């Protein structure tokens, strides 16, 4: 039994509450309080204790929130303490049930939809703590299984790093332990080394012969003899004699330059003297004519072509090429023996001969360029060409050796190209994998892998057993739960029902699936942007009734509720007045089956009905949550005095007539006074005053602006006017007012119901 709240510090509006005498809870307890004084805080404390959820209280700590909340609750003689972080213990399961806004938001629906978390939490609520523990263990086992799988994959990744082609993990794990594996590996490794030498040979370059310069002695002789017949022989002799006598070997070019620079053919470009009377100048001009220039240019090109053919000045380059090919050929001495030193000596001697021949030919060609018209004897080139031929002859011998080496090397490669080392490598890898399989690292990894596989097998077996137990329990409980929900929905007069309720376990977590029908049609549980859905079809009262039905349905099939405490926070919130008596019936049923019932409410009429119920009032306690300057507190409540008013009497008269019938006239006289008193009760103080009639109240509501408290019921003005107009005959002498007739019983029933429902 829940006995009392011992202490509440820094939770919501309870700043420093300490239990006082007279505030013990009874087998039936009414806790009354206006909205905003802390009733739901009391329910939240009990729900936090039930769930052992410290976060619920931490979120409700008193402003400014810098002090940790603490509380103590006595239940069945034991004090449960919350130290600001956690409860020290938790009541046994099935001893405390709490209906409050947190239950609705957690287990049934949010303001506009039912989401997957609601269905998961609802399933755990329905199945019970034992089943929930099994579901939790199922989720844990599933998580452990996934973790073991990840660990197994990590180990296998390490094993894969040890395995060479062509083997895979399955082959690797199936290897036998061969004591002779080392000898087998050595044998195949030697075979591979031998085969791999073939690859190095195939990659080795082959020596090639070098292209040698071409010697065209006839062309050289013709070049030396070449001259121009168009320039007179006497002129040429005079110029050549002048050059020999007065100038050097570059004299002809010097004279050619002077002719090109002479000013107006009369002034010497060198001494600036008049040269018109000089016969030598005329002879020089004749010598260096346009025909001379064309001849010298052509001669220069021919000399360059001969030099290019002979590779004059480039002999060092191709001698280096020979040396490089000799190095390549020396790699093939097994196939074609050569003497690299002798070949290098030959190349150097050839280079010297070529160099000497090139020098002599260069000098001869320079002389020809200096005196292009001079006819030279072709025999002058014989010495230089002799050196050149001697050098080329030596290089030809080297070329012969290089060609033979290259031919032998190509033949060797052709014979080796058909060999294949890949098969030998795969055999060696296979044997090395077999050896590695029984090394310490692999043995340790395989041992860990086997342990994980064994663990996963046990987890799978445990999960299978848990699933079977949970499914069996769910099939028994959830089906009854569907019937219980629909029973209470029908009992509370709500035209909605649920179908196809079932427990499912996605990702190892329990969840409830169901369909919701309103007015015979299935509606979307989520939010829809283009059609009817939970948000738009159900009124606030329907949603609250649905939540109540979910809560009561779990307790419906328990014949005995002995030892249970059922806490109901504002069970008529958002419900029409006609449902108060139905709530009383549900509360009475809980009590008759042995439960302790705690009702927290701001509704005086519900409190009055509970207090006056003969089956409940024998052991009822009435408490009041009062707001003070030092924080909210619990105190005794004089419910008799609080509920003995015309307002309550009018309400009870209307309710009695609707439930039991009888003389309609007393009820007719209560309609307008009840609505007036209800308006004053819901909206105490200005703008309503004590003397305001219902008509005057309606007038104030009609003209109120959005900032007024009355604006919330402005939309109900037309209904209030209808009630006012219909109830007028009951407050006037109808004989004296023409056209005013008393209300008929059917009218009284209709407008009595409207009066009870219009403000909830």
pLDDT tens column, 263-273: 456 677 666 66
Domain extents for the chain?
2-95+563-643, 232-288, 646-757
- Per the model's pLDDT, the better-predicted residue between 733 and 449 turns out to be 449
pLDDT the model gives residue 269: 66
Q: Is the pLDDT of residue 230 over 90?
A: no
List of residues 6+ apart from 509 with CB closer than 8 A: 120, 135, 139
Which residues are paired to 82 by β-bridges?
71, 87
The predicted structure's pLDDT at residue 240: 66
Residue 668 pLDDT = 92
Q: Band of the pLDDT at 734, cuts 50, 70, 90? A: very low
Instruction: Return the higher-pLDDT residue of 617 and 78.
Output: 78
Confidence of residue 19 (pLDDT cuts 50, 70, 90): very high
pLDDT of residue 623: 94
Q: For a pLDDT cut of 90, what percent of the chain falls above it?
A: 34
Closest CA to 758 of 703, 701, 707, 708: 701
Q: Per DSSP, what are the bridge partners of residue 235?
A: none
What residues does 8 pair with on adjacent strands? 17, 71
pLDDT tens by residue, 709-730: 899 899 999 999 999 999 888 7
Residue 210 has which token pair? Answer: 């070098």
Element (H, E) at 280: helix 279-287
Q: For residue 381, is pLDDT > 60?
A: yes
Q: Taking a C-beta distance cutoff of 8 angstroms, is the pair 29, 97 a contact? A: no
What local confidence, expressed as pLDDT, does residue 475 receive?
64
pLDDT(421) > 60:
yes
Q: What are the tens digits of pLDDT across the range 170-224?
A: 999 999 999 999 999 999 888 777 667 777 777 889 999 988 888 888 888 888 8
Whole-number Å distance between alpha carbons of 672 and 689 = 16
Read off the pLDDT band of 614 (50, 70, 90): low
Predicted local confidence at residue 288, as pLDDT: 61
State how far the Cα of 155 lies from the Cα of 445, in Å rounded to an integer: 6
DSSP labels, 666-690: HHHHHHHHHHHHHHHHHS-STT--T
**Residue 257 scores a pLDDT above 50:** yes
Under CATH, to which class is 2-95+563-643 assigned? alpha beta
pLDDT at 739 over 60: no
At CA 23, angle to CA 17 and CA 27, rounded to 5? 130
For the cut 60, the answer to whether the pLDDT of residue 112 exceeds it is: no
Is-contact 516 496, C-beta < 8 A? yes
Average pLDDT of the chain to the nearest whole number: 83
pLDDT at residue 259 tops 70: no
Q: Tokens for 427, please give them.
A: 């055999």
Upper half-sphere CA count for residue 393 (Cβ side, 13 Å): 7
Confidence at 484, pLDDT banded by 50, 70, 90: confident
Residue 415 CB burial class (10 angstroms; 0-12, 13-18, ≥19): exposed
d(CA 156, CA 707): 70
pLDDT interval class at 168 (50, 70, 90): very high
Which of 510, 359, 467, 448 lies closest to 152, judged by CA? Answer: 448
pLDDT of residue 518: 87
Backbone φ and ψ for 96, nearest 5 degrees, come out as -145, 120
Residue 310 has pLDDT above 50, yes or no: yes
Specify the higher pLDDT residue, 89 or 306: 89
Alpha-carbon span 428 to 431, nearest angstrom: 5
Note the pLDDT tens digit of each residue in 21-57. 889 999 999 999 988 899 999 999 999 999 899 998 9
pLDDT classification of 169: cutoffs 50, 70, 90: very high
Beta bridge partners of 151: none
Mean pLDDT of 671-699: 87
Tokens of 5: 């709240």
pLDDT tens profile 49-91: 998 999 989 999 999 989 999 999 999 999 999 999 999 999 9
Instruction: Please give the pLDDT value at position 466.
Output: 82
232, pLDDT greater than 50 = no
H or E element at residue 606: helix 604-612
């Amino acid at each position: 039994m829940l006995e009392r709240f011992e202490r509440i510090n820094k939770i919501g509006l309870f700043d420093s509450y300490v239990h006082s005498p007279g505030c013990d809870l009874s087998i039936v307890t009414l806790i009354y309080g206006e909205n905003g004084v802390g009733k739901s805080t009391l329910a939240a404390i009990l729900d936090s204790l039930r769930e052992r959820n410290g976060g619920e209280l931490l979120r409700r700590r008193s402003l400014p929130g810098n002090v940790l909340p603490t509380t103590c609750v006595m239940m069945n003689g034991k004090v449960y303490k919350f130290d600001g972080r956690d409860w020290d213990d938790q009541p046994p399961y099935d001893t405390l049930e709490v209906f409050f806004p947190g239950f609705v938001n957690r287990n049934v629906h949010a303001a506009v939809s039912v989401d997957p978390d609601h269905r998961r939490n609802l399933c755990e609520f329905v199945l019970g703590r034992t089943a929930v523990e099994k579901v939790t263990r199922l989720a844990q086992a599933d998580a452990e299984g996934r973790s073991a799988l990840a660990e197994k994959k990590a180990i296998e990744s390490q094993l894969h790093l040890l395995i060479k082609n062509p083997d895979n993990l399955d082959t690797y794990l199936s290897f036998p332990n061969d004591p002779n594996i080392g000898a087998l590996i050595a044998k195949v490794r030697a075979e591979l080394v031998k085969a791999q030498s073939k690859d190095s040979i195939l990659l080795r370059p082959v020596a090639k012969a070098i292209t040698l310069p071409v010697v065209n002695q006839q062309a050289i002789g013709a070049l030396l003899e070449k001259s121009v017949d168009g320039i007179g022989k006497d002129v040429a002799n005079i110029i050549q004699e002048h050059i020999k006598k007065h100038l050097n070997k570059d004299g002809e070019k010097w004279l050619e330059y002077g002719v090109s620079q002479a000013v107006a053919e009369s002034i010497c470009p060198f001494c600036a003297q008049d040269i018109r009377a000089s016969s030598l100048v005329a002879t020089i001009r004749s010598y260096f004519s346009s025909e001379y220039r064309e001849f010298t240019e052509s001669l220069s090109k021919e000399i360059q072509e001969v030099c290019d053919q002979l590779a004059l000045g480039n002999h060092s380059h191709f001698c280096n090429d020979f040396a490089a090919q000799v190095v390549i050929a020396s790699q093939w001495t097994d196939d074609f023996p050569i003497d690299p030193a002798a070949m290098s000596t030959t190349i150097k001697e050839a280079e010297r001969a070529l160099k000497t021949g090139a020098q002599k030919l260069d000098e001869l060609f320079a002389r020809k360029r200096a005196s292009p018209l001079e006819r030279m004897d072709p025999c002058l080139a014989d010495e230089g060409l002799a050196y050149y031929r001697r050098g080329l002859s030596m290089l030809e011998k080297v070329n012969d050796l290089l060609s033979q080496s290259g031919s032998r090397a190509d033949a060797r490669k052709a014979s080796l190209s058909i060999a294949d080392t890949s098969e030998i490598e795969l055999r060696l890898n296979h044997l090395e994998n077999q050896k590695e399989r029984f090394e310490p690292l692999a043995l340790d990894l395989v041992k860990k892998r086997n342990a994980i596989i064994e663990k996963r097998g046990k987890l799978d077996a445990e999960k299978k057993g848990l699933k079977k137990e949970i499914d069996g329990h769910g099939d028994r409980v959830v089906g009854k739960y569907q019937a219980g929900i629909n029973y209470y929905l029908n009992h509370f007069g709500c035209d909605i029902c649920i179908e196809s309720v079932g427990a499912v376990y996605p990702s190892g977590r329990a969840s409830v699936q169901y369909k919701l029908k309103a007015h015979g049609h299935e509606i979307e549980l989520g939010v829809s942007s283009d059609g009817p859905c939970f948000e738009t079809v159900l009124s606030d009262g329907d949603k609250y009734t649905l939540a109540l039905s979910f809560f009561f349905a779990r307790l419906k099939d328990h014949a005995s509720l002995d030892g249970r405490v059922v806490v109901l926070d504002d069970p008529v919130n958002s419900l029409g007045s006609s449902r108060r008596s139905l709530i009383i019936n549900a509360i009475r049923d809980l009590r008759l089956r042995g439960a302790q019932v705690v009702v927290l409410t701001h509704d005086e009429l519900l409190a009055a009905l509970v207090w006056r119920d003969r089956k409940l009032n024998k052991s009822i306690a009435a408490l009041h949550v009062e707001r003070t300057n030092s924080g909210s507190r619990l105190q005794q409540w004089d419910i008799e005095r609080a509920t003995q008013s015309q307002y309550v009497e009018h309400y009870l008269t209307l309710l009695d007539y609707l439930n039991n019938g009888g003389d309609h006239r007393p009820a007719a006289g209560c309609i307008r006074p009840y609505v007036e008193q209800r308006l004053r009760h819901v909206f105490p103080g200005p703008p309503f005053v004590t003397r305001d009639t219902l008509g005057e109240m309606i007038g104030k509501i009609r003209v109120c602006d959005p900032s007024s408290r009355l604006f919330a019921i402005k939309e109900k003005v037309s209904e209030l006017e209808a009630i006012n107009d219909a109830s007028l005959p009951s407050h006037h002498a109808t004989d004296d007012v023409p056209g005013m007739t008393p209300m008929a019983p059917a009218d009284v029933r209709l407008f009595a119901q409207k009066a009870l429902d219009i403000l909830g």
